Amino acid sequence: MSFLLKTRSESDKPKSPSSEELQQKIVQVRELLGSLAAEMPAFLSDTTIRRFLRARNWSTEQATKSLKETVKWRRQYRPESICWEYEGRRAYIADYLDAKGRSILITKPTIKGRVSGKEQIKHFVYLLESLAMNSADEQEEHVTWLIDLRGWSISSTPLSTSRESMHIVQNYYPGIIAVAILSNTPRIFESFWKIIKHFLEAKMSEKVKFLYTNNPESHKIVSEMFDMDLLETAFGGRNSITIDIDNYAERMRRSDLARGVLIIQTDINLISRHH
């Protein structure tokens, strides 16, 4: 596999609207959403609408369609009510940023999960929700996704789990992933990748990069993207320290509080006790 998949040139990408045009599009989407805009005001903010517009090539119709589908999913899944309750070593948000100031999502699917596949996806949604709702207002595609695939086997990421995870990223959290870096994929992964690639949108597929830590070209590109003293050795960096789960748990609880999830969870618990 090559390290870097080709991406579209700037001339091939849809032209971004001006600030005035973008605001008009946001207003148009709100009009098309109708009463839904009032149903989920925290989610259907200008930031979210702008993100969906960007992900759908600035089409108000396509962005509105995606938002309606996402609202339907959120009613059932309630991602805003998920709070920290996981051990976090298999998937977590790094405590440093990349060279462009983007948040870093790290997943290590080869670490044996301590919970069911359903719970693992729930935790993945929790991380995506935290990244989406705590993002800077104007920051475009603000997440770099690092995936450690050393020692990978098909049991590490069952096809059904991978498909569902990609469906959630592409449909319910579009426009937050800037780049996805797959590190040290074994040869057996190539056949799996050929299958998974069919479930990726073109935009997502072209964001995927393959990293091999013993490859000089890979090392050069990674050193330009990250502070090598902070980046984990699994991705070619010099940081050999594993995640401090206690500090991480406290950081995620503060993140929960910042987006109001603890208040939401408390209200749900109170309602449940009354019924």
Q: How far is CA 34 from CA 28, 41, 46, in A?
A: 10, 12, 15
- Asked if the model's pLDDT at residue 71 lies above 90, the reply is yes
Burial track 170-179 (b if 16+ CB lie within 10 A, e otherwise): bebbbbbbbb
pLDDT reported for residue 87: 66
| Cα maximum dimension of the chain | 62
* CB count in 10 Å sphere of residue 239: 17
The per-residue pLDDT of the chain, averaged, comes to 87
Q: What is the pTM of this model?
A: 0.87
- Asked if the model's pLDDT at residue 8 lies above 90, the reply is no
Share of the chain above pLDDT 90, in %: 70
pLDDT reported for residue 93: 95
Q: Average of pLDDT values for 63-84?
A: 96
Letter for the amino acid at 27?
V
Instruction: For residue range 223-273, list pLDDT tens digits in order.
Output: 999 999 999 999 999 999 878 888 999 999 988 888 776 444 444 443 343
All residues at 6 or more sequence positions from 116 whose CB lies less than 8 Å from its CB, including other chains: none
Q: Average of pLDDT values for 17-22?
A: 93
- Asked if the model's pLDDT at residue 126 lies above 50, the reply is yes
Instruction: For residue range 165-197, list pLDDT tens digits in order.
Output: 999 999 999 999 999 999 999 999 999 999 999
pLDDT reported for residue 261: 64
Long-range CB contact pairs, 76-79, < 8 A, 24+: 77/125, 79/125, 79/126, 79/128, 79/129
58/174 Cα distance (integer angstroms): 13
Q: DSSP of the chain, one letter per residue?
A: --SB-----GGGSPPPPPHHHHHHHHHHHHHHHTTHHHHSTTTSSHHHHHHHHHHTTT-HHHHHHHHHHHHHHHHHH-GGG----S--SSEEE-SS--TTS-EEEEE-TTSPPSS-HHHHHHHHHHHHHHHHHTS-TT-SS-EEEEEE-TT--TTTS-HHHHHHHHHHHHHHSTT-EEEEEEES--TTHHHHHHHHGGGS-HHHHTTEEEE-TT-HHHHHHHHHHS-TTTSBGGGT-SB-PPP-HHHHHHHHHHHHHHTTHHHHHHHHHHHHHH-
171/183 Cα distance (integer angstroms): 25
pLDDT reported for residue 236: 94
Q: Could you tell me how many residues make up the chain?
A: 275
31/41 Cα distance (integer angstroms): 14
Q: Average of pLDDT values for 201-213?
A: 93
- Asked if the model's pLDDT at residue 3 lies above 60, the reply is no
